[in-house]
Amino acid sequence: MEPKTLDQLAQHVGGKVIGDGSITIKSASTLERAGSEDITFLTNRKYTNQLKTTKAGAVVVGSQIESNSALLIADDPYYAFRQIVVLLHGHRQHKKTGISKNAFVADSAEIGKDTDIHNFVTIEENVTIGSGCVLYPGVFIGKDTTIGDGCIIYPNVVVYDKCTIGSRVILQANATIGEDGFGFATHNGCHHKIPHIGSVIIEDDVEIGSNAAIERGTIDDTIIGQGCKIGDQVVIGHGTQLGPHCLLVAQVGIAGSAKLGHHCVAGGQAGIVGHINIGDLVTIAAQGAVINDIPNGSTLMGSPAIDANKAKRAYALIEYLPEMRKSIRKLEKKLAAKEKS
Amino acid sequence: MEPKTLDQLAQHVGGKVIGDGSITIKSASTLERAGSEDITFLTNRKYTNQLKTTKAGAVVVGSQIESNSALLIADDPYYAFRQIVVLLHGHRQHKKTGISKNAFVADSAEIGKDTDIHNFVTIEENVTIGSGCVLYPGVFIGKDTTIGDGCIIYPNVVVYDKCTIGSRVILQANATIGEDGFGFATHNGCHHKIPHIGSVIIEDDVEIGSNAAIERGTIDDTIIGQGCKIGDQVVIGHGTQLGPHCLLVAQVGIAGSAKLGHHCVAGGQAGIVGHINIGDLVTIAAQGAVINDIPNGSTLMGSPAIDANKAKRAYALIEYLPEMRKSIRKLEKKLAAKEKS
Amino acid sequence: MEPKTLDQLAQHVGGKVIGDGSITIKSASTLERAGSEDITFLTNRKYTNQLKTTKAGAVVVGSQIESNSALLIADDPYYAFRQIVVLLHGHRQHKKTGISKNAFVADSAEIGKDTDIHNFVTIEENVTIGSGCVLYPGVFIGKDTTIGDGCIIYPNVVVYDKCTIGSRVILQANATIGEDGFGFATHNGCHHKIPHIGSVIIEDDVEIGSNAAIERGTIDDTIIGQGCKIGDQVVIGHGTQLGPHCLLVAQVGIAGSAKLGHHCVAGGQAGIVGHINIGDLVTIAAQGAVINDIPNGSTLMGSPAIDANKAKRAYALIEYLPEMRKSIRKLEKKLAAKEKS
């Protein structure tokens, strides 16, 4: 992409320049590595010290601060920096391959225009794929599945049959969508597989990380709401439904038939049991374990998860348990001695 | 599949109808979504309220209960419902492809009759596959591996060399079987790879979830006992042996050389260290961490895992630690004051 | 491989024989399964009892011990045993396939000599691969990626564009390298994808487990230091940097922009938050959660992780919380009664 002046960048993001706005900015970088033609950002106070040593041409910040670099002040500095990265570097470009002769595309499949289907892709019967999609090598799309426009499906992703995927969905490599859930009826000591007649619905603008697994519903559908972003190696159980714009960081696991509202956030390795209702705007810390219904706006931490403020104080005291126990014993002895005397 | 009357379904599962047994049932559904030609079930008391509002034609239950829908009473209602889902909907059908010309099948491989091998599958030297199997696109079977009859191997599953897989085994997409375990001998600060001369043996009727990873043994074999069901993204360490009919929910991790008896259950994200013996019928709650030998029939919870009943009471008290500590300090002060006076 | 005498094995590893050094040893085995022509080892005291019953021809040990089998005493018995396994069994052999006609290799890609590229592999534009590598079926290498010599890339591994992989790197099946990290700028309730212009650098002699996922950096690079061994289903967040010779056991998750020194070890399912500095030689127990900077040489345990010795005592007391609380209440009552009287 083309270099810009700092002024041009400020205009692009609706920000304000402190310093020389005429300098040329060619790329985005980190505080540590940036040079005079790079722009970087500061949103995490941890890195404030690096403002003194950075050689960056400019730094995107939220408010004025002392620095040798020029500043680009923006209301939402991380979003402004993101806009600049898109402007200077763009998103990943995908080569135009058309529909490869080395892919298998069923006669009954409908493929939209400008959709690229790479080698070794399999598109089964009655699949519908919109326009402007990219299906990288090794992708498998099961029969009767529908995919919208502008989707990017990275190598070796597997989408089972009868799934519905919206537009502008991104599936990172080796993700699995629509596999049978963990559903067995145990009878006389044997676990009998329940056919999974539900499906997976992935709404628009969702991104799903590498090696993630989204189970199809047993009899209900699994739903990933619009704009949800799901990290690597997340598992979503059968019939679980996420409201729009949830963020699930890597290795989160949600059991089946749970319902989450909109804008929920779960930190890495958090777990949520099945058959519970989690409200809107609920945040769960990393490794947290949610086992009950949760009202809107809660912030939770711990295993089992409790209110995060409580949890911060409480879990920090685990290390004092030996001391506490000793104190209790001492008190008991003293009191016993007192009672004797 | 064909619709049935409720009486026919009751007969099929050995149950009893309360209400009009002549109604037609076409499909299985949830309490929430079912209509007059659907059957649903109630096994989780959480949903009892929905019996009042459901529009289901019939509900499978364990005992009589007030409802506007007809009831099908069965001794094991979830299993009965499962039998009905199989009857009404059947398991996933697989198209007959024969052995694709776009698959690679080594000359020395033996493939049983009615086994379908899709495009882009690789079957290495000396592999034996039984009859009636399906190998979906992108599957890799390493040399000298043996697979029984009626197995379903979903897209992009990788089975390494010299593994033994029984009959009616289901491997969900992107699972890995028989990769080298995490075995290194550290010497002078470098970690030296140990050749993994052990293998993986998967017995009959096992199902393994998407993106799961079953390591081959270092010198012993990893064994997944008959009828075990293993969820998505489970890792089984090298040389670990599961007895028959275990259930491991998603994201469970078991380190190497552990031994589990029959009918063990591990909840999501539970962990088990290596080189321990876990008896029969042991249940481990989600996120539990088992670090010692465990006798038959135990139910465990917590990290580190302890008896579940104890754990329920104990872990629930973590949030009272600040209060407890304050109480102890208060007591100490009071007693000190008393002693002074 | 050829059988050896016990004396030959001892010479090979610089060890000392106690017993008959002329016996023939054909293979390595476990204490439990070994026969008279097998060698096994004892490094875990748990198995000391099996020395009395083993039928092994010889046992590698660290110091003299009573046994019916001949002993091979070595300074570092596990490493010695590893040397013997390599000598007797060797590492996995890979068939020579050359570059398959059923692979896609871009014209601009450079492939070193003796590198085997199996069927259904995709090598994109401007990729450079050294000599003596093996790329198994279904592997995808994105454009501008560089791979050194002697690498083994197992089936269905995906390496995105612009990654740098050293020599003698082993990537187990279904691993993903260089996918976009979990990077979104949230603005007005929507999560906007940040282009990931950073990359992944994997240094020499690294091994990465099955279904693991190594995210590319947002603007910085993700670095896996020389000789690191990374287990199955590990996630490394964008921009995280591991020093040389770290060991990350299965299902570990490290968030973005963390820095680890050399020779760090993380047990299964451990988690590390982003933007922290972890020193050299730091050990984190299984399921531990590290949330702060950690000095060199620390050993940590628990969630949140604290000093392991403290944690062992402290976490073991969680089960006494109900008892402790009862004691506190009793003390309060007694003291209150005393004060009244």
Burial code of B78-116, b = ≥16 C-beta within 10 A, e = fewer? bbbbbbbbbbbbeebeeeebeebebbbbeeebebeeebb
pLDDT value, residue A1:
76
Q: How far apart are CA B317 and CA B324, in angstroms?
A: 10
Burial class (CB in 10 A: 0-12, 13-18, 19+), B341: exposed
Q: How far is C111 from chain A (nearest CA, A)?
A: 20
Q: Which residues of C touch A303 (CB under 8 A)?
A: 303
Local confidence band at B59 (pLDDT 50, 70, 90 cut-offs): very high
Question: CB of B177 within 8 A of CB of B223?
Answer: no
Q: How far apart are CA B136 and CA B134, in angstroms?
A: 6
Q: Is C192 on the interface with A (CB under 8 A)?
A: yes
Percent of chain B at pLDDT exceeding 90 = 94
With a CB-CB cutoff of 8 Å, which residues 112-131 of chain B face chain C? Answer: 120, 122, 124-125
Choose from A211, A248, A262, A306 for mutation: most chain C CBs within 10 A: A211
Q: Is A199 helix (H, G, I), strand (E, B) or coil?
A: coil
Map tokens 């044997």 to a residue: A190
pLDDT value, residue A46:
86
Above 90 in pLDDT, residue C341? no
Does the active-site annotation cover C238?
yes
Percent of chain C at pLDDT exceeding 90 = 94
pLDDT value, residue C339:
82
- Chain A residue at shortest CA distance from B46: A275
Q: How far apart are CA C103 and CA C228, in angstroms?
A: 30
Cα atoms found within 13 Å of the Cα of residue B337, Cβ hemisphere only: 8
Q: Is B243 helix (H, G, I), strand (E, B) or coil?
A: coil
Above 80 in pLDDT, residue C266? yes
Q: How far apart are CA C247 and CA C233, in angstroms?
A: 13
With a CB-CB cutoff of 8 Å, which residues 274-333 of chain C face chain A? Answer: 275, 287, 289, 302-304, 306-307, 310-311, 313-315, 317-318, 320-321, 324, 327-328, 331
Local confidence band at C45 (pLDDT 50, 70, 90 cut-offs): confident
Domain C4-89 fold: 3.40.1390
Using CB atoms, pick whichever of B120, B194, B269 lies closest to residue C85: B194
CB contact under 8 A, A207 and C193: yes
Q: How far is C324 from chain B (nearest CA, A)?
A: 9
Q: Which residues of B touch A179 (CB under 8 A)?
A: 154, 172-173, 209-210, 232
CB contact under 8 A, C89 and B195: yes
pLDDT per position as a tens digit, C115-151? 999 999 999 999 999 999 999 999 999 999 999 999 9
Q: How far apart are CA A97 and CA A78, in angstroms?
A: 35
Question: CB of C116 within 8 A of CB of C135?
Answer: yes
What's the full length of chain C, in residues? 341
Local confidence band at B45 (pLDDT 50, 70, 90 cut-offs): confident
Residue among B98, B158, B293 nearest C153 (CA): B158
Q: How far is C221 from chain B (nearest CA, A)?
A: 24
Q: Which of B191, B192, B196, B238 is catalytic?
A: B238
Question: CB of B187 within 8 A of CB of B194?
Answer: no
Q: Which residues of B touch A289 (CB under 8 A)?
A: 286-287
Percent of chain C at pLDDT exceeding 70 = 100
3-state helix, strand, coil in chain B (%, to 5): 20, 30, 55
| DSSP conformational letter for A294 | B
pLDDT value, residue C340:
83
Q: Is this prediction's pTM over 0.80?
A: yes
Domains C4-89 and C104-313 are alike in CATH topology: no
pLDDT value, residue C142:
98
| DSSP conformational letter for B210 | T
Q: How far apart are CA A217 and CA A230, in angstroms?
A: 18
Question: CB of A109 within 8 A of CB of A128?
Answer: yes
Q: Is C187 on the interface with A (CB under 8 A)?
A: yes
Burial class (CB in 10 A: 0-12, 13-18, 19+), B225: buried
Question: CB of A70 within 8 A of CB of A56?
Answer: no
Q: How far apart are CA B240 and CA B259, in angstroms?
A: 6
CA A171, chain centre distance (Å): 11
Q: Provide the pairing of β-strand C140-141 with A4-5.
A: unpaired
Above 80 in pLDDT, residue B341? no
Choose from A321, A323, A330, A333 for mutation: most chain C CBs within 10 A: A321
Q: How far apart are CA C138 and CA B174, in angstroms?
A: 12
Q: Is B166 helix (H, G, I), strand (E, B) or coil?
A: coil
Give the pair of three-digit tokens for residue B256.
Answer: 């190497």
Q: Is A221 on the interface with B (CB under 8 A)?
A: no
Between B261 and A66, whose confidence is greater?
B261
pLDDT along chain A (341 residues), means of 10: 95 97 97 96 90 95 93 97 98 97 98 98 98 98 98 98 98 98 97 98 98 97 98 98 98 98 98 98 98 98 96 96 96 89 75
Question: CB of B138 within 8 A of CB of B156?
Answer: yes
The chains in contact with chain A, meaning 3 or more Cβ pairs closer than 8 Å, are: B, C
Q: Is B232 on the interface with A (CB under 8 A)?
A: yes
Q: How far apart are CA B165 and CA B121, in angstroms?
A: 17
Q: Which residues of A touch C251 (CB under 8 A)?
A: 251
Above 80 in pLDDT, residue B71? yes
**Domain spans in chain B, listed from the N-terminal domain onward:** 4-89, 104-313
Map tokens 């009191």 to a residue: A335
Above 80 in pLDDT, residue B67? yes
Q: Provide the pairing of β-strand B4-5 with B24-25.
A: antiparallel
Using CB atoms, pick whichever of C195, C302, C314 lies closest to residue A86: C195
Q: Is A219 on the interface with C (CB under 8 A)?
A: no
Q: How far is C72 from chain B (nearest CA, A)?
A: 17
Q: Which residues of A touch B29 (CB under 8 A)?
A: 219
Q: Is A210 on the interface with C (CB under 8 A)?
A: yes
- Chain C residue at shortest CA distance from A41: C219
Residue among C224, C176, C180, C172 nearest C202 (CA): C224
Q: How far is C146 from chain A (nearest CA, A)?
A: 18
Q: How far apart are CA B187 and CA A55, in angstroms?
A: 42
CB contact under 8 A, A174 and C156: yes
Local confidence band at B340 (pLDDT 50, 70, 90 cut-offs): confident
pLDDT value, residue A340:
83
Q: In CATH, which of 3.30.1490.20, 3.40.225.10, 1.10.10.10, 2.160.10.10 is domain B104-313?
A: 2.160.10.10
Above 80 in pLDDT, residue C1? no
Map tokens 């329940």 to a residue: A194
Q: How far is A78 from chain C (nearest CA, A)?
A: 6
CB contact under 8 A, C140 and A245: no
Q: How many CB atoms lie within 10 A of CB C230?
A: 29
pLDDT per position as a tens digit, B195-219? 999 999 999 999 999 999 999 999 9
pLDDT value, residue A45:
86
Question: CB of A266 within 8 A of CB of A245?
Answer: no
Burial class (CB in 10 A: 0-12, 13-18, 19+), B140: buried
